[in-house]
Amino acid sequence: MNQFRRAFLKNAGTFGTVAIAIAAGLLKPGAVFAAAWNSLAFTAKDTAEAIKNAGYDGATESSDIVIKVPDIAENGAVVPVSATSNIPGTLSMAIFVEKNPAPMIASFEFSNGAEPYISTRIKMAKTSIVRVSVKAGGKNYTSSREVKVTIGGCGG
Amino acid sequence: MAETMKMRATMEGDVVDVKVLIQHPMDTGLMKDAKTEKLIPAHFINQVVATLNGKTVLDAQWGVGIAKNPFIGFRIKGAKPGDKVGVNAVDNLGTKFDGEVVVA
């Protein structure tokens, strides 16, 4: 099914007929993506508000979330972050940078055998707490690390 | 659009380690153009879905805080060589990106 869909999308894209396919009801726009983009959480300027809008509020501090970040980042435009949750039944994970203009960086939902691990590269405006929160077994957990930034990566 | 996405999937024990690089400016909408002093409009990938043999394994939402030319690494248990890992992404302007790699 998905294989067909991918091939179809590839071909359709070539001839610019995706719009027509959508209009004809063949493809639901955004059908691949389970949920709509959480603009409330991503546009929040305050960390607490972003965490609440993303549904990660009321979290318990947990050392079972292992965050790997550099202690000092020379270039805030590219800061490597990886996080592993050792909490059983971890369903999703979100990354927040408390001092960024938009603190919510990303959220990830794991299913069908995906391990509760993410590695990525983020932007940091200045020295800040990097927070990783996790949903597991109907509860929220969180952990954080500070990263010192020498040159900020947002706002120029 | 395969040239904008680079993927690698390698077995580590019974887990497949997937690394994905996507070429994208990831403009925040907060930066000014150095010459014109005008704000560069936000242009960033905001949704990413990864699949193993067509089944969703990772469903991600991104904001503007993911670095330019995004990198993402993730791991899937129970995969084997020959399995297919796919990634579909879309940005805030509706441009779609997709890639597929066979587990080595």
CA-CA distance, A1 to B52, in Å (whole number)? Answer: 13
Instruction: Return the number of CB contacts < 8 Å for A and B.
Output: 140
Report the pLDDT value the prediction gives residue A2, as an integer from 0 to 100.
58
The highest-level CATH class for domain A39-151 is: mainly beta
- Give the mean pLDDT of chain B: 94
Closest CA to B92 of B31, B59, B47, B57: B47
Q: Map out the domains of chain A as residue ranges.
A: 1-33, 39-151
- Which of A123, A128, A151 to probe the B interface (max B CBs under 10 A)? A123
Q: Is the pLDDT of residue B94 over 50?
A: yes
Query: How far apart are the CA of A143 and the nearest CA of chain B, in angstroms?
Result: 19
Report the pLDDT value the prediction gives residue A33, as an integer from 0 to 100.
79
Report the pLDDT value the prediction gives residue A13, as an integer from 0 to 100.
47
Residue of A nearest to B25 (CA): A77
CA-CA distance, A116 to B27, in Å (whole number)? Answer: 28
Report the pLDDT value the prediction gives residue A27, as an integer from 0 to 100.
46
Query: How far apart are the CA of B16 and the nearest CA of chain A, in angstroms?
Result: 9
Q: Which chain B residues touch A55 with a CB distance below 8 Å? A: none
pLDDT tens string B22-62:
999 999 998 888 899 999 999 999 999 999 999 999 999 99
The highest-level CATH class for domain B2-102 is: mainly beta
Q: Which chain A residues touch B31 with a CB distance below 8 Å? A: 154-156
The runs of H, that is alpha helices, within chain A are 2-14, 18-23, 39-43, 47-53
Q: Do B74 and A38 touch (CB under 8 A)?
A: no
Q: Do B79 and A113 touch (CB under 8 A)?
A: yes
Report the pLDDT value the prediction gives residue A19, as an integer from 0 to 100.
47
Out of A1, A106, A111, the one facing B66 most closely (by C-beta) is: A106
Report the pLDDT value the prediction gives residue A4, as an integer from 0 to 100.
55
φ, ψ of residue B84 to 5 degrees: the values are -110, 130
Structural contact between residues B47 and B89, judged by C-beta atoms closer than 8 angstroms? yes
Closest CA to B66 of A29, A112, A100, A19: A100
pLDDT tens for chain A, residues 1 to 156: 455 555 554 554 444 444 444 444 444 444 467 789 999 999 999 999 999 999 999 999 999 999 999 999 999 999 999 999 999 999 999 999 999 999 999 999 999 999 999 999 999 999 999 999 999 999 999 999 999 999 776 544
Q: Which chain B residues touch A118 with a CB distance below 8 Å? A: 72-74
Report the pLDDT value the prediction gives residue A64, as an integer from 0 to 100.
98
Q: Tell me whether A111 touches chain B (CB under 8 Å).
A: yes
Q: Do A109 and B59 touch (CB under 8 A)?
A: yes
Residue of B nearest to A104 (CA): B63
Look up residue A79 and give its amino acid. V
pLDDT band per the 50, 70, 90 thresholds, residue B2? very low
Q: Which chain A residues touch B49 with a CB distance below 8 Å? A: 32-34
